[in-house]
Each structure stands twice: as C-alpha cells, then as structure tokens.
A = this chain, B = another copy of it.
Amino acid sequence: MKIIDKMNAAMAQGRPFFSFEFFPPRTDEGVQNLFERQDRMASYGPTFCDITWGAGGSTQDLTLDIAKKMQNMVCVETMMHLTCTNMPQSDLEAAMQRLKEDGIQNILALRGDPPKGQEEFKAVEGGFSCALDLVKYIRREFGDHFGVCVAGYPEAHPDNIVDDPEDMKKNYWKELEYLHEKCKAGAELIITQLFYDVEVFLKFVKDCRQIGITVPIIPGMMPIMTYGGFKRMTTFCKTKVPKEVSDALESVKDNEEAVKQYGIQLGTDMCKRILDSGVPGLHMYTLNLERSAVAILENLGLINKSKMSRDLPWRAGAGRRRSESVRPIFWSNRPKSYLNRTNDWDRFPEGRWANASSPAYGALSDHQTMRRHAGEKRQEKVKAAWGTTLSSPSDVSDVFVKYASGEIDVLPWNEMESLHSETGTIKNEIVALNKADYLTINSQPRVNGTPSSDPSVGWGGDHGYVYQKAYVEFFASPEAFKSLQGRLDKRPSITYMAVNQAGDVHANITPQDVNAVTWGVFPAKEVIQPTVVDPQSFNVWKDEAFQLWTSEWGSLYEEGSKSRKVIDKVASTYFLVSVVDNDYINGNLYQAFGI
C-alpha cells in the first residue's frame, strides 16, 4: 500500500501519524536485534518504517533483504531508500524489480552522498546524478506502481550552504524550485532533513506552499541522544542549532542520561509546536534505537503503551496479506515462521479458515535464515537457560517450569524473547502443568464476552466483545498422555488431538473439524474469528515443533553426549498434544489434568 494513501486516511480522520527510520546494521547479530526492535516498535502503530540504502555490494543486498522482511515478516508498511550513488540504471531497475516482487510499494528517491573518497557527486556510468532523474526514471519504468517520496532540506542541501547571505538565499529558492520539479515528476510526499529550529521548518513549509508544492511535508525529527553524536551530525549536515539548545546541551554534556532526557524534552516540545501548527505527522530518525523516539511519541500522546489497540489478536500483515484475517493458533509464538511458510499463498484466508482450501505450507528452510541463536553471546545465554548438561527428561521439565515461571525468557518454540507469552491469568495453572510434566509451548485462557477495549485480551476496537476458548498445547510422555486421554474422553466439552514424531495420531475430532478458538462480535459486522485450531495445519506444525527439539536445543550439545541423547529421546517418544475446552462459559480446562 502506498504511504500517501495511509497518510490521507489518517488526515481525513484528523489523526496525527508517525513513522520510524532505521539503517542496515553491520553485523548479523545487529540485524537480528533490529528485527526484534522493529517488531516491538511496529506494534505502536507507525504509518510506515523506512530503511536507508546501503549502497554497494553486500550492503545493498542486505538493505533489500531487510526491507523484504520488514514488509513481510515484521509486517509493517515499508519504504526503502534508493540512491543514485554507484547505481547504473540496470542496478536500479533490478532493485526496484525486487521491491515489486517482495510487495514493497514505497521508495524514498535520493541522489545520495558521493562515493567514499570523492568530494563531489558524479553520476556513475549509466546512472543518474540527481534525485529528480531517479524520480522520473521510477515513474517512466514502473508507472504508478510505487509511492515515491523525496527529501526536503529546510536549510538547503549541505552542498549548497554558503556563507554569503545573498548567495545562500538564491541557493535556497533554487533548491525549492528543484524540489517542486521532483514533485511535478511524481513525488507524492516530502520528508525533511533533520533540524533543531522549528521556525526554520515552518518557514520552509510556508515557502514550499508559496511556490506551489502541495504534497505533505513531514518533518524528519532526530532526538538528541548523545552529545558527541549530536555534534557530529549537526556539523556534517550543517544544521543550525539555536543558542538555547546548544547552551542547554553544554550544561549537561558530561551526563549521558541528562543529555538523553534533554533530547526527549526538546523533541517533545519541537514536535508539539509542529503538530500544533497543523503539520499532520512526524518522521522519527531512530538511529536504530527505541527509547527517545518512543518517549517523545508517548509524551505527545501518539503512543499509549497501556492502551494499545490491536486490530486482531495477532499483528495483521501488510501488502498482499492485508486481507488475511484467520490463522491457526500453533504458530502464535512463531509468527515469523508462519509468515515465511505461507508467503507463497495466492490468497489468504478471510473470515473463515475453511475458505483456505488445503493450505500448502512452505518448507522450513528459509526460516532458518532468521535463527535466533546467531552470535556466541546468545548461544551462551541460551545454554545457561536450557542447561549446560542434561541427564534426564526431568531436567528438561525443569527448563519448561522455569520458562512458565518467568525465570528464563527463551524456549525453542518461542521465536522472539519479546513474545514471551503472557500467560497472565493462567500463569499458576501453566506452571502447575509443567511441574506435572506436561511441557507447555502454547496456551490461552478462556474469555467470555470481555469488552473489546480490554487492554489485556481486547482487540478490534471499541464497542465489541471478545471470546476465547481455553487452549493448551504441550509435549507429554506416552505414559502421561495415555493416562490423560482417559480423563479427557470423559469431558464432552473437551476436544483434543495428539501426535508423536512417528505420526501416530490420537484425537476425538476429524481432520475437517476446524475450531475457532478466538472470536469477536462487533457492531454491524459479521463475527470475526481470527484464530483457529485446524487439524490439517497441526499436521504441518507438528513437524516444525518436533524439529525444534533437535535443531534449536539438541544441537547445543556435542553429538553423542548424554545431553543430546536426552533431547533426542524426548523428541522421538513424546506426544505433541493440542487441547481445547469448548465450554468457554463454565469450563475449567485444567481440572482434566488433575491440577
């Protein structure tokens, strides 16, 4: 979806919007951390996130890869920067073709900095020397497909900042005309260079309007986070710093925390003035950091962490996935794996899972590129959590108990630490289940008509009611499962299915019995049922669930070691069991487990 369309919708509702900018990290671990961070920040509801262009070779590929994952796995509307630096037309076209394939519809078109070692920007052979030509090229080659954004320089481009006031003025207006040209060529949106003088920005907007620029002009805000960083950035960009800002900063420059606090305060004040002047939204240069940008938006009331509203219980997708409204519960702690394995679907289920005729899940392999335990540090952390040595299945149970109790925050079936399942009201029951050797990997409490605005279990907006059937999914030894099965069979409200690695199935439902376990009822809508327990998906999930034992956990230990054998034994003998209590009004799922 084009950013401008989302902005227009927000403007029509008088709702200020915001966005976050990131850059490609230099290490694998950095990339992994970035996704975890984006995952959290995406949940605050930015209109879009953008990723800057790392020109040249592998960085270029990395940028394209990050953009793809932002759009399709972090599920946030994504804009990629694209510069002319070292980019012949063929490379530009290839990059845009990839964006198109990956469902990314937004480009920030820039000239870019001169290549390292060069002072002045020169077009590469077969390339462009200015953003205007790039904009024209995008429109000529891809028509209306992309939303195109361009940069605006409230204090003029650093290259054009000169000492002589008359020349400066001339340069400034010339640049404005050039910006106008970019808009005429097809740019739909302007994001500005950073600034610390609000008056400069407001004058820039006024001047743009005066010469006939009509597209939205969104201020690029860079919170001051460190004194050194601020100094380097303002020097590089030749940014004007008001005296009160530099005075205030100088007085706290040796106190890192005070600098940050001041940055947040200043950013809040600046943004407030800007929004009050009628500007519809803000663009935050995050430098891949979360705290300052989020704090400013919280101060402005644009983010309310305690009242975050979700459209659906899980984060809805961007791009092609926008229509998706139902998912199986099994991947709820591994959404990226689910997104990956369903990325090739032509059509996503809407309204009812039953509409998705025999979903063909993709293989697991691609997902492995997003593995969590990259990096030695993480490996150590994980091993500390799951045990440096294991001598019996009861050591394994202990790890699950620790996870359920919140003592550790990683488990193979939980994709990201930030997703640590908030068992909330059923924490005690879940701990008890694990102590009784039912090794839980997924659960939800029953919910009976709670207002949809509820901060904990609500979703879908106001004036509705939401429901959940109690659910628990766990591994259990064959003996434990057998004795449990007898108890489950006695309860008419309970449906279950169990399978071991060899594929032996025990269930009291048929493969066609799709169970909606989360649903919501809203004014003037059909019932929305976003989460289902679907036997056919379970059959796919079980392979992933069993594989994680060895790929994530067993592989921590030497081949042939006792620990490795313990994991292999559990993986090869235990049943994976999925249990639903269909009586969401009066049921008590845990009674059946004797806890």
Contacts and interface: CB of A to CB of B under 8 A. Distances in A.
A467 interface: yes
A352 B526 contact: yes
A517 to B, nearest CB: 10
A233 interface: no
Given A493-B463, A585-B449, A513 B529 contact: no
Interface in A490-546: 492-493, 495, 509, 513-516, 519, 521-527, 529, 532-533
A354 B351 CA distance: 9
Contacts of A448: 449
A532 B582 CA distance: 24
A555 interface: no
Contacts of A529: 526-527
A571 interface: no
A53 interface: no
A60 to B, nearest CB: 43
Given A354-B351, A354-B526, A519 B521 contact: yes
A538 to B, nearest CB: 12
A354 B350 CA distance: 10
A525 B514 contact: yes
A465 interface: yes
A225 to B, nearest CB: 43
A355 interface: yes
Contacts of A583: 463
Contacts of A515: 523-526
Contacts of A526: 352-354, 514-516, 529, 532
A388 B425 CA distance: 66
A523 B580 CA distance: 9
Best-surrounded residue of A351, A463, A513, A524 (most CB of chain B within 10 A): A524
A300 to B, nearest CB: 27
A515 B521 CA distance: 9
A493 B524 CA distance: 9
Nearest to A514: B526
A323 to B, nearest CB: 11
Contacts of A355: 351, 355
Contacts of A519: 521, 527
B524 A513 contact: yes
A582 B513 contact: no
B523 A493 contact: yes
A541 to B, nearest CB: 17
Contact of A582 (B350, B354, B522): B522
Interface string A85-101: 00000000000000000
A584 interface: yes
A380 B463 CA distance: 50
A448 B533 CA distance: 24
Best-surrounded residue of A354, A526, A533 (most CB of chain B within 10 A): A526
Interface in A527-578: 527, 529, 532-533
Given A355-B351, A355-B355, A580 B524 contact: yes
Nearest to A464: B582
Given A449-B448, A463-B492, A492-B463, A582 B352 contact: no
Best-surrounded residue of A448, A463, A521, A532 (most CB of chain B within 10 A): A521
Contact of A465 (B351, B513, B533, B585): B585
Nearest to A448: B449
A582 B524 contact: yes
A516 B527 contact: yes
Interface in A456-494: 463, 465, 467, 492-493
Q: Enumerate the 8 nearest inter-chain pairs by beta-carbon distance, A residue then B residue, closest first.
A: A523-B582, A513-B524, A516-B526, A495-B524, A515-B524, A351-B352, A527-B527, A509-B524
5 contacts: A465-B585, A514-B524, A514-B526, A515-B525, A521-B582
Interface of A: 350-355, 448-449, 463, 465, 467, 492-493, 495, 509, 513-516, 519, 521-527, 529, 532-533, 580, 582-585
Given A495-B523, A523-B580, A524-B580, 5 more contacts: A351-B352, A352-B352, A513-B524, A513-B525, A516-B526
